[in-house]
Amino acid sequence: MGLKKPGAEFFVPLTSLNMFVSMTMQNLVERFPDQLEEAISIFRATRLREPSQPFTNVVIAGLGGSGIGGTIVSDLAFNSSPVPVTVTKGYFIPAFTGAQSLVIISSYSGNTEETIACFEQARSKGAHIVCITSGGKVADMAREGGEDLLLVPGGMPPRSCLGYSLIQLVGVFAAYGLLHPSALNDVTDAASALRSTQHDISAAAATLAQNLHNRVPVIYSTTHLEGVSIRLRQQINENAKMLCWHHVIPEMNHNELVGWAGGDSQFAVVLLRDPDEYERNNFRIDINKNIIIQKTDNFFEVTAQSPTAIGKALWLIHFGDWLSVKLADLRGVDAIEVNVINYLKNELSKK
């Protein structure tokens, strides 16, 4: 990966889409390690524009399966980025956005109306724009305006393509000094590890799914894994068609923990853990567990298996994706179907 002169264009040939047409969500989850490696190849075939001036902030615009990568990469960059990173999941970008802003537009379909609105605002403010999409209006706008365009394979549910979009974000962050230069190498190592342990991850997820079936999942993590927790919540929502919620430690110790006075066995806690967690958070977790198990025996811990921060996030994401499809199987629902979202988009298109 290198930098290119402002205004230059590039095009990344996409993987053939024929193989994706008849895939189930489980098939797509199985391909996650392959997707990570393909995503690295896509990014390394690109040359980003050289910024005309140093960035003073980063804004990532995207929603749903296209936007969660922004939340996760902002967590990963918390201890490395020299400038603030803001993720917006609506129609507007922050007022501080300007010519020294890096704005990353992430829309898998390329037609997400909220993200397109953010794109137009960023352009009007003279921001440095990088687009991540499979096509649609975002791709057309980027070509017309000379913005950087990272094209990923299309034709799949956006939530099944996090590997493509997240790794483009990791690459952009590493290229501009917001993440360590070795970040993509860490992804390569993580993909290999996930492939070699996929059977064990799937089996463990199936066991946990049995324990969550007919219960309300409550997902907890510490702050630096919140993006991963949100991803799990979203996957359970969309794939398993279940309601659940998430919160983070230590913030939930100042509010939600009191709410467990009304807890009972209908709730099942899933705690996402980092083996290298800050010691004070580990102490808090122990206290939280002692309080919560007074109300429910359904308390389950899932510990990331990787030596790197990116590897831990990817391991937990993959485990969570498997968990969501196993829950879908137990509930007898189609993990790919999202008719209610399609209805919403159709209604919005009428005005």
pLDDT of amino acid 45: 94
Residue-by-residue DSSP string for 37-77: HHHHHHHHT-EEEPPSS--SEEEEE--HHHHHHHHHHHHHT
Catalytic, 238? Answer yes
User: Is the predicted pLDDT of residue 325 greater than 70, yes or no?
Assistant: yes
Q: How far apart are CA 123 and CA 311, in angstroms?
A: 34
Which of 5, 144, 199, 254 is an active site residue?
A: 254
Any residues with CB less than 8 A from the CB of 100 and at least 6 apart, and which? Answer: 53, 54, 55, 56, 57
Q: Among positive and negative, which fits the CA dihedral 87, 340, 131, 127? A: negative
Residue-wise pLDDT tens digits, 226-280 = 999 999 999 999 999 999 999 999 999 999 999 999 999 999 999 999 999 999 9
Residue-wise pLDDT tens digits, 50-86 = 999 999 999 999 999 999 999 999 999 999 999 999 9
Determine the Cα angle at 322 with ends 112 and 272, to 5°: 90
Residue-wise pLDDT tens digits, 110-124 = 999 999 999 999 999
pLDDT of amino acid 311: 98
**Whether 174 contacts 6, CB under 8 Å:** no
pLDDT of amino acid 22: 64
pLDDT of amino acid 11: 40
Write down the mean pLDDT value for the chain.
94
pLDDT of amino acid 5: 37
pLDDT of amino acid 20: 54
SS3 for 245? strand
Question: What H or E segment, with its residue span, contains residue 200?
Answer: helix 198-212
Which of 38, 147, 238, 277 is an active site residue?
A: 238
User: Is the predicted pLDDT of residue 204 greater than 90, yes or no?
Assistant: yes
Question: What H or E segment, with its residue span, contains residue 86?
Answer: strand 85-88
Residue 322 Cα distances to 58, 89, 111, 207, angstroms? 32, 26, 28, 11
Q: Among positive and negative, which fits the CA dihedral 173, 178, 179, 185? A: positive
Residue-by-residue DSSP string for 263-280: --TTEEEEEEE-TT--HH
Q: How far apart are CA 12 and CA 159, in angstroms?
A: 21
The tokens describing 201, both together, are 């991850």
pLDDT category at 21 given cuts 50, 70, 90 is: low
User: Is the predicted pLDDT of residue 19 greater than 70, yes or no?
Assistant: no
**For range 329-349, the mean pLDDT:** 93
The larger pLDDT score, comparing residue 36 to residue 18, is at: 36
pLDDT of amino acid 10: 40
Catalytic, 254? Answer yes
Percentage of residues of the chain with pLDDT beyond 70: 94
**For range 294-320, the mean pLDDT:** 98
Catalytic, 246? Answer no
Which of 125, 289, 295, 345 is an active site residue?
A: 345
SS3 for 325? helix
pLDDT category at 162 given cuts 50, 70, 90 is: very high
The tokens describing 131, both together, are 């687009």
Q: Domains in the chain and their CATH numbers?
A: 2-190 (3.40.50.10490), 197-331 (3.40.50.10490)
SS3 for 234? helix
